[in-house]
A and B are shown apart, each in its own frame.
Chain A
């Protein structure tokens, strides 16, 4: 026995469960499996220790549910060169935290090449939607002699990365799966001391080089990275790697790190499906600045250089501004006098965030719960895409209680740690960084300007005419691929079937000879709204001249702008040119797409009752009956 301190990565942003054992046992007594699942999901929202994670997973396993209402099923295969069995429970529980029902598959460790190549391996039966490669750097280290030159090291690494890319390629081809590659954890020991960095063949240097090359290959191939190398730098290698466990059972990731590992995986799986958070809602007093502006006055709040507390709050503002630059929407929700609160933004010289950075600004004396609902409504986004940052534990507990779908980080008491807590929580995990993301903030500001125009217009018709809209359209392009993937996976409201497709599947549709894809970009006098709608049409097996609208999505930013009418005009024309004579289209109800339940009849489609999907309607449009709709949108040609 050694009394060395056990290092354990902590998920500090999650609240501690008041009575985990009692609540879990109560959940286990629930007879209805879906009720029990809901209870387990709410327990998964608390800070999970190693033991809690194992227990929750055992309870989840007993339910044996492959699907459940309100949960998204996902099949994930983990192909590994070390033991990963202890990571699977954590992945499933982190999924539960995001309402994902993750079915996992892992082969014997080190068997991943054979599993991919052998069509009789159980992996092929499992048919994963996502494949995660979790590999150690052992092979690379063994292949590089200590005296190797830079060129020799690079050659060996290029060969290994080449093999890895062919495995990715193979997994893509066989399963149409999205690929996630774990970065290589640097478990090497120092050999030359600090001089390691200057020796190309030193093990620590080889792993660093391997990760560099891995990132380049991943960027080229559209492979996503699970950056455990970074996480182990964040927490220290002792928190992530335990030599004893490695020797006992070839566990590269230490069991105490499993809950966080699972959360990292589930973040990416959720992000792929558009379930990352979209909007950061900030409290003001003692969050964006120190002190209470209503009591202390604009000159009395603590903000900016000269005081550590002031700089800590400034650091949070800086971080929020950076998030905004990458496409996160910012909002304010504060119990304050609105004039006083806005004055701070306009007049305080140290404020980094300006009033124009904030898409929705709600400073008033209403219940914060109502204000948070209003933020979601005003932005036309789901309330579950909000993160609410508030220093006040009472407010936090109230929101968690009344609106559990909102993420509320358990901020530390020390304002110096605010940014790290928010960053560690990984709410805004991304799987792409598109030009739409870069311009989103401006687009949300333009929404406000359009609202002003709407207010002054005499009629809706006059408003729409005044917008001077134009649409650019065409088939899916390589340039816009990432945005189309994002749109199809993130859109919840205007989404006819809520079918989610991986990047690979969308490429497949785009290249399918008898499919038709359409993307739409809408501009108006206030600017470019970006690529805001996408449609996937596929030929039907029985009738060559009938196309099925498999998916149709539109960003909520352009609701009520007649784009659905102009898009259908365009789709009918494009389909006619291909010799089609009709569309069939399903509307499948989800918890969020009620807003378009009457879309197809409004476009002139007739109901087809015999073959309606469960939980939805099937619609038919004979082009001979189609009346082209007049809109205020002019055609601007091909979308680029």
Chain B
């Protein structure tokens, strides 16, 4: 899967999660850039991504993701 394809899936998941179809995620997007993407919905997003891709992030990774790009990068490693 390419970075762009992963970003597209992430965008769809977050749109569904927050019921907001205007969301567009980029590698640089941070949580505070998206309305209502609070810590509760951050965990919800991580869970939804894990279910979608059938993988699990390490707790250390989840704590240290600085932006969407960091999650995408970790995902490309897992899917490689």
Please list the residues of chain A having a beta carbon within 8 angstroms of any beta carbon in chain B. Answer: 1-6, 8, 21, 25, 28, 49-51, 54-55, 58-59, 62, 85-86, 244-245, 247-249, 255-256
B43 interface neighbour in A2, A3, A62, A248, Cβ under 8 Å: A248
Q: Judging by beta carbons under 8 Å apart, are B58 and A51 in contact?
A: no
Beyond the given pairs A1-B74, A54-B17, 11 more chain A to chain B contacts, judged by CB atoms under 8 angstroms and listed by A's residue number, are A1-B77, A1-B78, A4-B55, A6-B55, A51-B13, A51-B48, A51-B51, A51-B52, A55-B19, A86-B40, A244-B59
B54 interface neighbour in A6, A55, A59, A244, Cβ under 8 Å: A6
Q: Judging by beta carbons under 8 Å apart, are B43 and A55 in contact?
A: no
B11 sits at the interface (CB 8 A): no
Residue of B nearest to A52 (CB): B16
Q: Which 9 A-B pairs have the closest CB atoms?
A: A1-B78, A255-B47, A51-B48, A244-B59, A58-B19, A1-B74, A2-B56, A55-B16, A4-B56
Q: Judging by beta carbons under 8 Å apart, are B47 and A1 in contact?
A: no
Q: List 16 A-B contacts (CB under 8 A).
A: A1-B77, A2-B55, A2-B58, A2-B78, A3-B55, A5-B54, A6-B54, A6-B55, A55-B19, A58-B19, A86-B40, A244-B57, A244-B62, A247-B59, A248-B43, A248-B59
Count B-side interface residues using an 8 Å CB cutoff.
Answer: 27
Q: Judging by beta carbons under 8 Å apart, are B55 and A248 in contact?
A: no
Please list the residues of chain B having a beta carbon within 8 angstroms of any beta carbon in chain A. Answer: 13, 16-19, 21, 40, 43-44, 47-48, 50-52, 54-59, 61-63, 74-75, 77-78
Q: Judging by beta carbons under 8 Å apart, are A58 and B18 in contact?
A: yes
Taken together as a complex, chains A and B put the C-alpha atoms of A244 and B62 apart, in Å, by 10
For A255, list chain B residues within 8 Å (CB).
Answer: 43-44, 47
User: Which one of B44, B63, B75 has the greatest number of beta carbons of chain A within 10 Å?
Assistant: B44
Residue of A nearest to B53 (CB): A6
Residue of A nearest to B57 (CB): A1
Residue of A nearest to B54 (CB): A6
For B18, list chain A residues within 8 Å (CB).
Answer: 58
Q: Judging by beta carbons under 8 Å apart, are B51 and A8 in contact?
A: yes
User: Which one of A2, A8, A85 has the greatest number of beta carbons of chain B within 10 Å?
Assistant: A2
What distance in Å separates the Cβ of A88 from its nearest Cβ neighbour in chain B? 11
Q: Judging by beta carbons under 8 Å apart, are A1 and B59 in contact?
A: no
Residue of B nearest to A1 (CB): B78
Q: Judging by beta carbons under 8 Å apart, are B48 and A50 in contact?
A: yes
For B40, list chain A residues within 8 Å (CB).
Answer: 85-86
Known: A1-B77, A55-B17, A58-B18. A50 touches B47 (CB 8 A): yes
Taken together as a complex, chains A and B put the C-alpha atoms of A28 and B21 apart, in Å, by 12
Q: Judging by beta carbons under 8 Å apart, are A256 and B51 in contact?
A: yes
What distance in Å separates the Cβ of B15 from its nearest Cβ neighbour in chain A? 9
Taken together as a complex, chains A and B put the C-alpha atoms of A1 and B61 apart, in Å, by 7
For A249, list chain B residues within 8 Å (CB).
Answer: 43
Residue of B nearest to A243 (CB): B59
What distance in Å separates the Cβ of B50 from its nearest Cβ neighbour in chain A? 5
For A85, list chain B residues within 8 Å (CB).
Answer: 40
B75 interface neighbour in A1, A49, A248, Cβ under 8 Å: A1
Residue of B nearest to A2 (CB): B56
For A247, list chain B residues within 8 Å (CB).
Answer: 59
Taken together as a complex, chains A and B put the C-alpha atoms of A255 and B52 apart, in Å, by 14
Taken together as a complex, chains A and B put the C-alpha atoms of A58 and B21 apart, in Å, by 14
For A21, list chain B residues within 8 Å (CB).
Answer: 16
B47 interface neighbour in A2, A5, A55, A256, Cβ under 8 Å: A256
Taken together as a complex, chains A and B put the C-alpha atoms of A256 and B44 apart, in Å, by 10
For B50, list chain A residues within 8 Å (CB).
Answer: 6, 256
What distance in Å separates the Cβ of A8 from its nearest Cβ neighbour in chain B? 6
What distance in Å separates the Cβ of A53 from its nearest Cβ neighbour in chain B? 10
Q: Judging by beta carbons under 8 Å apart, are A244 and B56 in contact?
A: yes
Residue of A nearest to B40 (CB): A85
Taken together as a complex, chains A and B put the C-alpha atoms of A249 and B75 apart, in Å, by 23
What distance in Å separates the Cβ of A284 from its nearest Cβ neighbour in chain B? 39
Known: A2-B55, A8-B51, A248-B62. A51 touches B43 (CB 8 A): no
Residue of A nearest to B76 (CB): A1
